[in-house]
Amino acid sequence: MKAERPVVEQLLADLKYPEAMKRAEALLPATRPVFDKKDNSTLVQSCAANLDMAEALRLAAEAADSAGAWEKALEYAKTAKILANECYAGVKEPFTQTVAYYKQAGARAQQVLDENTDRIKELKGKSALDPGERQELDLALGVEKEVLDCAKWMKFFQTYLDVTKRENEAYDPLVKVMEDKIKGEATQIEEYKAGKGEKTKWVEAVVSSPAYLEAQGDKAGRARWLYRLATIDPENKKVQHQLDILNGKAAAAPTKKGKKG
């Protein structure tokens, strides 16, 4: 995924949206990872697998959106959301308890050190220790290590909680954007009375109007719009011709000059 992401992003930057979508889809695992809740170790592994797949799905959704495959993009976004939701739901309670455990254990260990500060300092300052003192110092050093370990693991599990909570909410906007785009398009098709709800007639009408193409803004915007029209009606020759012009495979028709009076 890490190695392929720049390739997909470059294809998107080059407006090669269908190629980017194919490349991104090839990164998707055939099946969803199994979420194993057996213990903290398996939860960490399961979360990593879930979030990796969710990220691959996000990339596939972005590429599919650009390539005009909005329904696929929505499907990918929803699946990514499910994976992220499963991850956060799976770790929220056990990791919260684990953070609390290490926080409490660290506090207890620190209290022991605080109560024996002078004695520990004295033992550390001695050049030679008898067996009893050596054992006493070793115990103190063990407690010092426990304080550090508790802080490390508390941070580790808290970070996982923070990341999974953030990812749990990260895919909602993507799902909403795709749903809104699909609904908005359906409304436009329905409101085109001459087409009587037929998508292909709506495509023919909008692609025949230069104003629609100009309204898409820059080259990337026009490419996304044309690829969407091509997805709805793959047989429309006008759409394909406009894509050919955009991709440098065909020349645009010369602008007609007005007659001189």
Whether residue 259 has pLDDT greater than 70: no
Residue 175, pLDDT score: 97
The string of pLDDT tens digits covering residues 167-217 is 999 999 999 999 999 999 999 999 988 878 899 999 999 999 989 888 999
Neighbours of 140 (CB within 10 A): 19
Which tokens sit at 83?
A: 């994976």
CA 64 centroid distance within chain: 14
Question: What's the rounded Cα separation, in Å, for the pair 16 and 185?
Answer: 23
The tokens of 246 are what?
């955009």
pLDDT of residue 194: 87
End-to-end CA distance of the chain: 64
**CB distance 80 to 62 below 8 Å:** no
Distance of CA 224 to the CA centre of its chain: 21
Confidence band, pLDDT 50/70/90 cuts, at residue 254: low
Q: How far apart (Å, rounded) are the C-alpha atoms in residues 50 and 203?
A: 38
- The two structure tokens encoding residue 236: 């429309």
260 pLDDT more than 80: no
DSSP annotation of 127 reads S
The reported pLDDT for the residue numbered 250 is 82
140 in Cβ contact with 120 (< 8 Å):
yes
Of 63, 51, 61, 53, nearest to 27 by C-alpha is: 53
pLDDT at residue 239 greater than cutoff 60: yes
Domain assignments of the chain as residue spans, ordered by start: 5-174, 192-246
Q: Mean pLDDT across the stretch 255-260?
A: 50
**Average pLDDT for residues 58-86, to the nearest whole number?**
97
Query: Mean pLDDT throughout 50-75?
Result: 97
Here the tokens at position 15 are 């407006």
Q: What is the mean pLDDT of residues 57-65?
A: 97
Q: Can you give the length of the chain in residues?
A: 261
Q: In the predicted model, what is the mean pLDDT of the chain?
A: 93
- The model's confidence at residue 74, banded by pLDDT at 50, 70 and 90, is very high
The CA angle 152-156-159, to the nearest 5 degrees, is 135
What's the pLDDT score for residue 256?
53
CB 67 within 8 A of CB 18: yes
Over the stretch 113-167, which tens digit does the pLDDT of each residue have?
Answer: 999 999 999 999 998 989 999 999 999 999 999 999 999 999 999 999 999 999 9
State the residue for tokens 């001695």. Answer: 126
